[in-house]
Structure 1
Amino acid sequence: MYSKELTKGTLQPIILKLLSQHNKMYGYEITQKVKDLTKGKIDISEGALYPILHKLESNNILETEKVYIGKRVRKYYSVTKSGQQVIIDQSNQINDFIKTLSLIFNPKPTVK
């Protein structure tokens, strides 16, 4: 599993990317999907997930829908129309960041 310091800046883009690929998801579902896709290397705690979801909702990037399952309420999150552009921008920024990191960690040998 990666350290919290290493993954902290990527959690929001990860969450947004997942939500853009699915119609709607609830919190626990998001954490499990990330864990499954990364083979356990990225584990998003509830303490990290929900503040991000609430911030995205207050910024109108996400919207919620409450679904009653028996006596329980499940809150589903989905991306708003304005949130779609945020996802595109963050995905581009993450991909550029990965390329930049590869310049440092995987430099191409110089030809002499």
Structure 2
Amino acid sequence: MSTNPLLKGTLQTIILKLLEDNSQMYGYEITQKVKEITAGEIKLTEGALYPALHKLEAEGLLETFTEIVDNRVRKYYRLTEEGGNGVASKLDEAQAFIDQLQLLLNLKPTTK
């Protein structure tokens, strides 16, 4: 499955959560982590990922820095203090949406 259109509304939340769990990541690393976690079912394209990263950065939730790795400049992303504080509320919003979607579609809730 390529990038799922349903993913668009949750991409920022996914990015924030990955950065909370991994402290700093570069773009390709984010795409590979999503692919790994979902066993290849969700594949982020650069066209979806980078606009989301840039929007989060413009909103002050992410900051960037560069490092030289194998003689190449690599741009890393990490949460700002504001971004770190916002992860929990984004996750709560996502869970509330999932709960409402399950009601609307009459899906069985997953067991935790």
Identical residues among aligned pairs (%): 51
TM-score, normalised by the number of residues in structure 2: 0.87
For 1:64, the aligned partner's letter is T
Q: CA deviation at 1:70?
A: 3.7
Q: Give the distance between the partners of 1:23 and 1:84, measured in 2 at CA.
A: 10
Cα distance in structure 2, aligned partners of 1:32 and 1:48: 14
- Count, aligned residues: 108
CA drift of 1:106 comes to 3.1
Q: Which residue of 1 aligns with 2:71?
A: 71
Measured after TM superposition, the shift of residue 79 of structure 1 is 0.4
Q: Distance in 1 between matches of 2:2 and 2:72?
A: 33
Could you tell me which residue of structure 2 aligns to residue 18 of structure 1?
Answer: 18
Unmatched 5+ residue regions in structure 2?
Answer: none
- Indicate the SS of the match to 2:10: helix
Once the two structures are TM-superposed, the CA of residue 54 in structure 1 deviates from its matched residue by: 1.1
Structure 1 unaligned blocks of 5 or more: none
Shift of 1:2: 6.3
Dislocated runs of 4+, deviation >4 Å: none
SS of the aligned residue for 2:78 comes to: strand
Which of the pair has more CA radius of gyration?
1
